[in-house]
Amino acid sequence: MSHRPPRLSVVVPCFHVEAYVPDTVTSLVHNARDDIEFVFVEDRSTRDRTYEALLALTRRLPNSRVIRHEHNSGLATARNTGIDAAEGRYLTFLDGDDWLAPGYLTALVDCAEHFDADFVRTDHVQADGTARTLHRAPEGRRNTLLDPRSSILPVDATTMVDYPYAWAGVYHRRLLDRGLLRFHDGLRTAEDRPWIWALHRKADSYVVSSLRGVFYRRGLAASLTRIGDDRQLDFFRAFTLVLTELADDPRADALRRKALRAYCVVMAHHLLDRDRFDRAVYAELRSRSATALARMTDAELDDALVGMGEKRVHTLRRVRGGMKDIAT
């Protein structure tokens, strides 16, 4: 009898999340079906026993396996390891410290199959301690087949390329065959920025669903969003990749303006969070920010900063120098 591939593969990268994987795995148990497989990628944790916890917990999760990296490789590479091992017709992602509502995965794939979309994007719930906050995907057109390129612009509004979370959606395997599903190896943060831009520029169709079954855990002391080491600086490489890949796009000028604005937003966010960084890392952040800003023309930068707010504009102006008369 020939092997029938699963309907869905769930790729779960895990690194230093021993305390949270019980919730993660339990939520997947409540989503388990015969046609769903679960691929955990343990990225060689050293500060806790994430790997041992996964081996024990996944014994009660059908169709699951744990792959362990020989060396810590970062989130992008961990996801790629899972993608390479996955056999499903559709793929989705879940970080090792987050969780899902019961039955969410079935509803997600049902939506993708109903529309035969290349991918589906969803809302998500941010969990910060006991607080729960709904975050809606920026596209207002719901439950209808859309051209992904139609959700990139305008420049000065939050759009779907500003909502890059890979775990907020599901993706057809044909995207992998077209080279659109893998992440840039080695990126430890901002890995989803070049990825989401490629999806929206090159995929043929997508749907935004109001499903709210992903719970994203915020405020963890060990989370990369709170750690101020040099991994945070990977956003420079990520946005350089975005800008490089835009160069041959038919609408390169307009899309470049959008990407530069997002780049400036992320730069300002990190520069304004100075207390989080080691002194040497913050010095490197300032230096690389100054270089990145200097590569933009005055017109590009003026355009990027319009309406961004006085604090962010002042911070970026001070780092680059010589910028005047920018509307805040």
> Is the pLDDT assigned to residue 282 strictly greater than 70?
yes
Sequence spans of domains, the chain: 8-217, 230-318
**Token pair of 5, please?**
């591939």
> Is the pLDDT assigned to residue 327 strictly greater than 90?
no
- Residue 60 carries which DSSP code? G
Q: What is the pTM of this model?
A: 0.94
**Token pair of 84, please?**
């390479």
Summarize pLDDT for 156-178 with one digit per residue, the tens.
Answer: 999 999 999 999 999 999 999 99
Cβ neighbors of 244 (< 8 A, separation 6 or more) are none
Decide: 267 and 289 in contact? Cβ < 8 Å.
Answer: yes
Average pLDDT of every residue of the chain: 94
Q: What are the helix (H) ranges across the chain?
A: 21-29, 50-57, 75-85, 104-115, 173-177, 192-202, 234-246, 252-271, 279-294, 298-305, 310-320
> Is the pLDDT assigned to residue 2 strictly greater than 70?
no
> Is the pLDDT assigned to residue 22 strictly greater than 60?
yes
CA–CA distance, 266 with 272 (Å, rounded to integer): 10
Topology (CATH level 3) of domain 8-217? Spore Coat Polysaccharide Biosynthesis Protein SpsA; Chain A (3.90.550)
Residue 214 pairs with which residues in a beta bridge?
Answer: 100
Burial of 253 (0-12, 13-18, 19+ CB in 10 A): exposed
Summarize pLDDT for 197-244 with one digit per residue, the tens.
Answer: 999 999 999 999 999 999 999 876 555 555 678 999 999 999 999 999
Residue 280 pairs with which residues in a beta bridge?
Answer: none
pLDDT at 224: 52
pLDDT at 3: 76
pLDDT at 323: 47
Which region among 91-100, 201-210, 236-245, 315-324 has the lowest average model confidence (pLDDT)? 315-324
**Token pair of 322, please?**
């010589």
What share of the chain has pLDDT > 90, as a percent?
92
CA distances from 155 to 92, 243, 257, 265, 303 (A): 28, 15, 7, 12, 9
